[in-house]
Structure 1
């Protein structure tokens, strides 16, 4: 068996959705949706958005679940039930319209 290294498995930074620290949640969701459309669908779809500062340094990341937790405080109560469906299929058009 051929030895695998991390580089063989990693997702290049250039393929991630990115937004500035000043972006809105809506901006972050749109960036993630676009990155997922452009990403090779035969591979794992990202569920994270990288955040950069005014100097273009990556300072953190947020996930789809982080966004849901921010939008719906009661999400923690139903997170287990919803996790498989929402995190797997992305955000609904209705949610995107509500965020505008």
Structure 2
């Protein structure tokens, strides 16, 4: 597997449902529901919904956590602060900042009313460098990104465009196959 390229295990973007970044908040919710139903019915390999820009290029993926974060407009500000702080920031400090910015203090109905005017482009997270690999990278690069970032999938780029996703579940399946085909020999006194 050391010589295997990412492109050999990636799934092309055509395998995933898409939604426009101009779609409404409610369209995002409906799209996620449809993806979930297709996954549960065995018609889709994953619940992933890709987000495309005006030109049809993939700019991210939509998840339920994105929808929930969109309900609280100050949440993204807190997350931005968290990224800039030192790793050892005490949780108490973060909690007091959340209190200061009143994250989740409005009743859910009020938040829902505000969310009806939101578009996906207003709350979607763009892929970060640690969430991407190049199609011609070897699998060790993907392994490193999966382990370090604890990602369920990584975006695959080729020529500057996102062309697919590599899912951890596919990588793990391939690792199991490789281990079963090449069992480790029994250790002897001479080899230890």
Relative to the length of structure 1, the TM-score reads 0.50
- Whole-angstrom CA distance in 2 between matches of 1:42 and 1:57: 24
1:13 match: 13
- How far has the Cα of 1:51 moved from its partner? 1.1
Task: Please give the per-residue CA displacement for 1:64-90, whole angstroms capped at 9, x wherever unaligned.
Answer: 111111114698xxxxxxxxxxxxxxx
Give the length in aligned residue pairs.
77
Select the structure with the greater relative contact order (CA < 8 A; seq sep ≥ 6): 2
**Shift of residue 27, structure 1, vs aligned partner:** 0.7
Trace 1:17-96 onto structure 2 (pairs within 5 A): 17-39=17-39, 41=42, 45-46=46-47, 48-72=48-72
Contact 1:15 1:35 in 2 (8 A): no
Higher helix share: 1
Equivalent residue of 1:23, what SS?
coil
- Whichever of the two has the greater Rg, that structure is 2
Task: Tell me the CA shift for residue 38 of structure 1.
Answer: 2.6
- Structure 1: 4+ residue segments shifted above 6 A: none
In structure 2, distance between residues paired with 1:13 and 1:22: 19
CA distance in 2, matches of 1:17, 1:43: 9
After superposition, the CA RMSD in angstroms is 3.7
Which segments of 5 or more consecutive residues in structure 1 lack a partner in the other structure?
Answer: 76-94
Return the TM-score normalized by structure 2.
0.30
Does the CA contact (< 8 Å) of 2:19 and 2:31 recur in 1?
A: yes
